[in-house]
Structure 1
Amino acid sequence: MATRLLPINFCLLFLTALLFMASCMNSAEASDEFVKASCKTTPYPALCYTSLSNYASSIKTSQRLLVKTALKVTLDAGRNTSSFLVKLSGNEKTRKSKTGPVGDCVELLRNVVDEISKSVKEMDRIKDNRDIRFRISNVQTWVSAAMTDENTCTEGMTGKTVSAKVKRMVTEKMEVLEEQTSNALCLVNSYASHH
């Protein structure tokens, strides 16, 4: 009798494991589809999806977590760009840039990192509907200010005081950061429109 139940128990165990795996896969697929659909609404959907898809399992289908993750990704890009500019401004060949456009960009990027960092912290404070509009408004203001600072840095590279090589390097780095920030702001605005 016990030997007859063994195959049945094994089948039940196998089916339970299979159902669990299917539900996990459906959840993972739903999370990935949520990120993909949300990114389609942004100005740079391919960059959005590429930068956020690795976090889909932690985002799940939460718009708040999507926004917070997009801001964290933007913050990382801002920190990387800021570090690049600090190194560039300390380079012997660009040392005169500390007071010129590259030096200005270093200061502007410090502001960007601060503004995006404040935005991430503000998203952490959104736990329920209390003060949600006020907090989202703060995030919109800071991310918009970050975009302005980024644009100011890029526009400052148009003068003749910076070599073509430095201009190109800074502009390429800034372009990616500006696109990340633009996507993040779009997702913030979408989140705001639902509250």
Structure 2
Amino acid sequence: MAKQYQALFLLLSVSYLFSSELTTATLKPAGASTKALNFIQSYCKSTMYQSLCVETLSVYANTIKTSPRRLVDAAIAVSLNQALSTKLFISHLRKSQFQTLQDCAPSTDTFNTDVRCSVQELQEVVNCNSWTECLFHVSNAEVCAISGESHSVENTCSSPFAGPVKMSVRGRISDAVRKSLQTRFAKLHQEINNAKLLFKAFPSNHK
């Protein structure tokens, strides 16, 4: 049984290959069959964020073809790529932005924890031994993304103890950083949620 599920998610072992493609792919592949695109659109109807689902997965229509397994694999890989991209963004923030973020919102350690959690849980899907275990890790990854999204909307820059000029400077920088983080975590949440619902829609005879 374990081997069955390891085979089911074999493609996830090359998630980083998908990730490298995702950095340059913006359009659906030339020559993608109408059948493959219709297949993706049909499955995406089971998701909450249908437009995002079709947009991100249609790029890989030639790889997915009409395979539910490859569709789920691609959805997980897309989510993992977004998580890794967010992690990289946080690590590249300038020192002043890190301090601003600490002053005006939860510590950057909080955001690092949220994104690392998402990455780790998505990577665990590669090694899961059952459908239930795989779904467990996908759901955990979503919880972590939601946590990061929630933290990014918090703002304590309006503290009455901060001087007006200091607060204005910190608030302006913090708003830019927080908005970017909120956008990234929101997209991560949506992509993981889509992957989870596609996972649930996977044909019962493959579970």
Extract structure 1 runs of 4+ deviating beyond 3 A: 95-101, 192-195
- What does the per-residue CA deviation read over 1:110-151, in whole Å, with 9 as the maximum and x for residues that have no partner? 1111111121444xxxxxxxxxxx521111111111111111
For residue 78 of structure 2, the aligned residue among 73, 81, 86 is: 73
Specify the alignment match of 2:61 in structure 1. 56
Amino acid at match of 2:180: M
Superposition map of 1:116-155 within 5 A: 116-122=122-128, 135-155=130-150
Distance 1:55 1:120 in 2: 19
- Greater relative contact order, per chain length (Cα 8 Å cut-off, separation 6+): 2
Offset of residue 94 of structure 1: 2.0
Distance 1:45 1:37 in 2: 10
Distance 1:121 1:51 in 2: 24
Offset of residue 192 of structure 1: 6.4
For residue 167 of structure 1, the aligned residue among 178, 187, 198 is: 178
- RMSD over equivalenced CA pairs, Å: 2.3
Amino acid at match of 2:99: R
Amino acid at match of 1:66: L
- What does the per-residue CA deviation read over 1:28-81, in whole Å, with 9 as the maximum and x for residues that have no partner? 221111011111221111110110012112112111111011000111111001
For residue 103 of structure 1, the aligned residue among 100, 109, 133 is: 109
Give the total of aligned pairs.
158
Point out the structure with the larger helix share: 1
Distance 2:100 2:203 in 1: 43
**What TM-score, normalized by structure 1, do the two folds share?**
0.72
Q: Secondary structure at the match of 1:68?
A: helix
Structure 2 unmatched runs, 5+: 1-30, 158-170
For residue 92 of structure 1, the aligned residue among 80, 96, 112 is: 96
Q: Secondary structure at the match of 1:118?
A: helix
Specify the alignment match of 1:14 in structure 2. none
Q: Secondary structure at the match of 1:191?
A: coil
Amino acid at match of 1:110: R
Q: Which has the larger radius of gyration?
A: 1
Identity among equivalent pairs (%): 24
Distance 1:147 1:173 in 2: 13
